Structure 1
Amino acid sequence: MPPPPPHDPEPHWPYPSFNVRIEDLAHPGAKLFLDHIRVDEALRYAVATVFRWLYTPNSVPTHVEQVLLVLRPMDGVAHTFGSRTHKEIHFSLNHIRNSEARAKDEILGVLVHEMVHCYQYNGLDKAPGGLIEGVAGILGPLERRLGPPHWKKEADGEWDAGYQKTAYFLEWIESRYGDGTIRELNEGLKDKEYDEHIFKDLTGRKISKLWKLYRAHLEELQGPAL
């Protein structure tokens, strides 16, 4: 019996340097983080996941030189900011404590989500905020176990409401129109202002028609009472 074919080697991604700051080592969330996570491996995993889904070895951006992860007591979950070359991810120790039952997957999912914000394009700051969050959110469901367990597929309201609503809509577009569609969407937001016509360029359909088709798809799966 012949041996299985070898796995393709991981591309030589341009990883930034990583730093971490924990502002309260006595916090239960800090203990959970340190018990479940090798921070260097987790941050490399988050960067590699972003690169695999949104870029190719030839298109991956190289401008981010350093990512600082700050673990601190705060409200909310996490947020990312910084300059073009230096990014900061602030992650709530309170949220980690409250996610004890699935701490590892929750931490990795949040790190992936926030790492997207370090690298994604935004249509020269003109893309809807909901689209930006949807692109960041799609990687959790695509990586399967990293999607927040409370997220549900919803078809009410607008497509660009962000987070779970937009993420699952984009996941559907990816599955319907081919692997790499969201990568192409991100690339199309690199050097020019956002225009919703980008969806027609990618799929042949206007965004309003895509949203209508997606709603019909969910109704077929879940029944009409949405």
Structure 2
Amino acid sequence: MTLKAQTGGHAEPSAVPVPLPDRTRDTAEPGREPASEPETGSTPFQKPKLRLKIQDLDHPGAAKFLSSVNASTVLSTAVNNVLRLLYKSPSDQHTTVPPTRSVTLILRDMGGVAYTTGVAHLNPQLTPPPSITKKTDLDNDHKEIHFSLNYINSIAPATRLTHEITGVLTHELVHCYQWDADGTCPGGLIEGVADWVRLGCDLSPPHWKRETGGAWDRGYQHTAYFLQYLEQRFGEGTVRRLNDKLRRHKYEREVFWPELLGESVEKLYGDYVEKEKDGEKGCRVAVVGR
């Protein structure tokens, strides 16, 4: 995962878990298969063993992390949020979650922001997205999230520490639980799903914007906002169905999207771009009319 580095700031104690926000169900388009909703009161998902490893307690980023979040609470809540957004229910016959027996969060002195190891279903013939790597000392049921102490130390202002740390961890935990069509899914879509979950948890950082220039699958927040549009247009559970399709089939762009949503991804993205342009025009008209 790659984010723009920020500088300065001192931590203020805060350990606030981030629950999923209440959302009203969006209406699917006529003629589309209705998207599924999570079941209430169903059997909870099996949780992994959660571990924390800090490689340098003297690093200022370690102190900021420990004073900003309760590691057990923030990881447990993030796991709940990821599973609830990507899967319907453990009791649903179509729910198949990638095996994840443990997740170890490793805070260490390194460049970048964060990356995840132990993603077994990555195709060794393809280059993984930048925030995922296969290398781990354990079998692939055990995941590791490596989080940069340098990045944590750079988060500013200090009031953003809890929000940003939780957002990064939520993004990386998605990589522990999402499917990628046996390694054939574009890296931009993988990263877009991770940031879509982050969006759904109200954890977007202030620099994120709905930018429609460039390809639909350039990843991260750019693809996340496109996925959010699809979720609103075709109904709640659309991205969940996308994730499940990536479990069951290899990714072939010309087939994948028409089977899932009845249109090519190029047409869908074009509709999204036009909608955003219309929204911008409406804002300009409103401002001029004041």
* TM-score when normalising by structure 1: 0.91
- Cα distance in 2 for residues equivalent to 1:16 and 1:105: 23
- Cα distance in 2 for residues equivalent to 1:57 and 1:28: 40
CA RMSD of aligned residues (A): 1.6
Q: Is the 8 A contact 1:51 1:60 kept in 2?
A: no
Residue 9 of structure 1: how far off its partner (Å): 4.9
Residue ranges of structure 1 left out of the alignment (5+ in a row): 1-7
Q: Out of 79-88 and 177-186, give the one that drifted further.
A: 79-88
Q: Does 1:71 align with 2:127?
A: no
Alignment of 1:62-141 (within 5 A): 63-82=99-118, 83-101=139-157, 102-141=160-199
Q: Out of 95-104 and 194-203, give the one that drifted further.
A: 194-203
Residue 12 of structure 1: how far off its partner (Å): 1.6
- Cα distance in 2 for residues equivalent to 1:121 and 1:159: 19
Q: Does 1:210 align with 2:261?
A: no
Alignment of 1:8-19 (within 5 A): 9=41, 11-19=43-51
- Cα distance in 2 for residues equivalent to 1:42 and 1:170: 25
- Cα distance in 1 for residues equivalent to 2:43 and 2:280: 40
Quick check: which one's helix share is greater?
1
Q: Is the 8 A contact 1:14 1:62 kept in 2?
A: no
| Number of equivalent positions | 216
Pairing partner for 2:218 from 161, 178, 184: 161
Q: Out of 21-30 and 110-119, give the one that drifted further.
A: 21-30
Alignment of 1:23-38 (within 5 A): 23-38=55-70
Q: Does 1:45 align with 2:77?
A: yes
Residue 100 of structure 1: how far off its partner (Å): 3.9
Residue 126 of structure 1: how far off its partner (Å): 0.2
* TM-score when normalising by structure 2: 0.71
- Cα distance in 2 for residues equivalent to 1:126 and 1:114: 19
- Cα distance in 2 for residues equivalent to 1:170 and 1:202: 13
- Cα distance in 2 for residues equivalent to 1:40 and 1:204: 42
- Cα distance in 2 for residues equivalent to 1:99 and 1:9: 38
Distance change in 2, residues 1:87/1:175 (3 Å): same
Residue 43 of structure 1: how far off its partner (Å): 1.0
1:53-85 deviations in Å (ceiling 9; x for gaps): 000223152611011100011111100012430
Q: Out of 37-46 and 53-62, give the one that drifted further.
A: 53-62
Runs of 4+ in 1 over 3 A off after TM superposition: 8-11
- Cα distance in 2 for residues equivalent to 1:156 and 1:62: 34
Instruction: Provide the identity percentage.
Output: 43
Q: Does 1:176 align with 2:176?
A: no
